[in-house]
Structure 1
């Protein structure tokens, strides 16, 4: 986060400090600089801000547990928008594909809502696929099914079904708004919507195939806990 915060700021401000190289800040700084070199100023500023918000979102769960009560369903829903990390990832996809959407188009309520709906669709998809694995890690891990179970007094199956309905209603809301937006959209907005669709589909496929969410002894998993016929996982939507 120090690399992202410092990039573009006056040189007399505090700089990232990593004397032994254990945090690989030189590598991070190089990646940030290369991203900045191909991004528009608006894209880079948006990416940097979204990444910082993502890092800060990791504080929510441990801080609530430290206070003794743990995450709540309303609080988790708000934090998950940033903790799923889809916002900076989609922005990065816009940068590397040279998406022509303008800052003005990006700021329109319809596109902002579509971006938020896409983020939540990916969040709930992620939570549904990761819930079983996270129940076996030996420590509490918040996700939508687990919070629905504890706060609403549901069984595991009922909580999963409700989480699926939440996911599906979010997906339908995205499709309805997309259908109203596309007929009058600019080429840049069409390109941005295409990026959102690609990310949602790619994330869904990854959630179904990643070994990260496999539980040893369940169908489709070998004795070593590896998903049969799947590739290597990358993390829970790159977020916890």
Structure 2
């Protein structure tokens, strides 16, 4: 991994072997450490059809902008890349959840940009459904309640409880994001990264990989400090990698909660340099994940190993999805030199 200056633009914006690269996407591909192989789920096409039918069932496809957004984000493709080993039933739940979070996140961004306070009723409805089992009062709430039902049907009570808890963390993160967007001058890089860990919405998927195992992982494995650290590292690596490719889109939209844009604000550097600084952070995160996994793997059961494989799926899957999804296509249009 090359060393980058954090105070000057003294960076060789090319491949480590000296060969030039032409655009931001190629720059990311060249410098990012990605040791895990590409995989995809053979049920992707069925999951894609199921996503549209499910969103339509709850009235979300009829909302302005949602069909176009789904076409540009391809939630079933992300589900396929991150969850290559799941059966069709669990893959469909993952795809539904990804689609739901895309709709929910875009709605929260739109409402929260006007006023963080205006976002509170929407978030409170979600927390009431997840925490207290309250009846929904909106189409978005009804979709969430149905998603929670699907999770409970395929999970143990403990797994479903972990799913709901992590989903509540994601909901709370969107309020923090709205507050930060309203006060951009007060946002520090470490605060941005903390908020991003919540709004990533990755860790709610991990109990589904527990449910996918032939035997339930032991509680001692699920709550082992090293496994919990692996969960945090994988979620951060996954969403920070997506941030690399989404930085152009989010910069143009005035978004703040993005690891590359956080480095750009802090260093006062070009976007290209900021992306490479973020790549360094991601590479260190993935390397720590590899080291800890090698240490803990001999102690884990096959079910425990299967859960960690689910975490690896998100690291690799977010990379493959982000670099080709239409939503982030602008990364291939930005030249390497600022």
Q: TM-score range by the shorter chain?
A: 0.7 to 0.9
Is the CA contact 2:244–2:260 (under 8 Å) kept in the aligned structure 1?
yes
Output the CA distance in 2 between the equivalents of 1:216 and 1:166: 19
1:114 to partner: Cα distance:
0.5
Identify which of 6, 15, 34 aligns with 2:150: 34
Is the CA contact 1:130–1:213 (under 8 Å) kept in the aligned structure 2?
yes
Output the CA distance in 1 between the equivalents of 2:275 and 2:201: 22
Aligned twin of 1:152? 267
1:4 to partner: Cα distance:
5.5
* SS of match in other structure, 2:256: coil
Structural mapping, 1:95-114, within 5 Å? 95-96=211-212, 100-114=216-230
Aligned twin of 1:5? 128
Is the CA contact 2:151–2:160 (under 8 Å) kept in the aligned structure 1?
yes
Structural mapping, 1:8-157, within 5 Å? 9=132, 15-18=134-137, 22-67=138-183, 69-96=185-212, 100-137=216-253, 139-157=254-272
Structure-2 change in CA distance of 1:164 and 1:27 (3 Å): closer
1:68 to partner: Cα distance:
5.2
1:90 to partner: Cα distance:
2.3
Moved more, 171-180 or 57-66: 57-66
Moved more, 142-151 or 110-119: 142-151
Structure-2 change in CA distance of 1:107 and 1:198 (3 Å): same
Output the CA distance in 2 between the equivalents of 1:99 and 1:130: 38
| Structure having the larger proportion of residues in helix | 2
1:162 to partner: Cα distance:
0.7
Aligned twin of 1:213? 328
Listed one character per residue, the Cα deviations across residues 154-199 of structure 1 (whole Å, up to 9, x for unaligned) are 2222211111100101010000111111122222211111111122
- Structure 2 residue runs of 5 or longer lacking an equivalent are 1-122
* SS of match in other structure, 1:141: coil
Structure-2 change in CA distance of 1:105 and 1:93 (3 Å): closer
Output the CA distance in 1 between the equivalents of 2:205 and 2:313: 12
Structure 1 position 199 matched with structure 2 position 314: yes
TM-score (normalised: structure 1): 0.78
Q: Which structure has more RCO (C-alpha within 8 Å, separation ≥ 6)?
A: 2
1:24 to partner: Cα distance:
4.2
Aligned twin of 1:232? none
Output the CA distance in 2 between the equivalents of 1:197 and 1:217: 25
* SS of match in other structure, 2:187: coil
TM-score (normalised: structure 2): 0.57
Q: How many residues align?
A: 211
Identify which of 273, 281, 284 aligns with 1:166: 281
Output the CA distance in 1 between the equivalents of 2:195 and 2:268: 22
Structure 1 position 177 matched with structure 2 position 177: no
Is the CA contact 2:136–2:142 (under 8 Å) kept in the aligned structure 1?
no
* SS of match in other structure, 2:330: coil
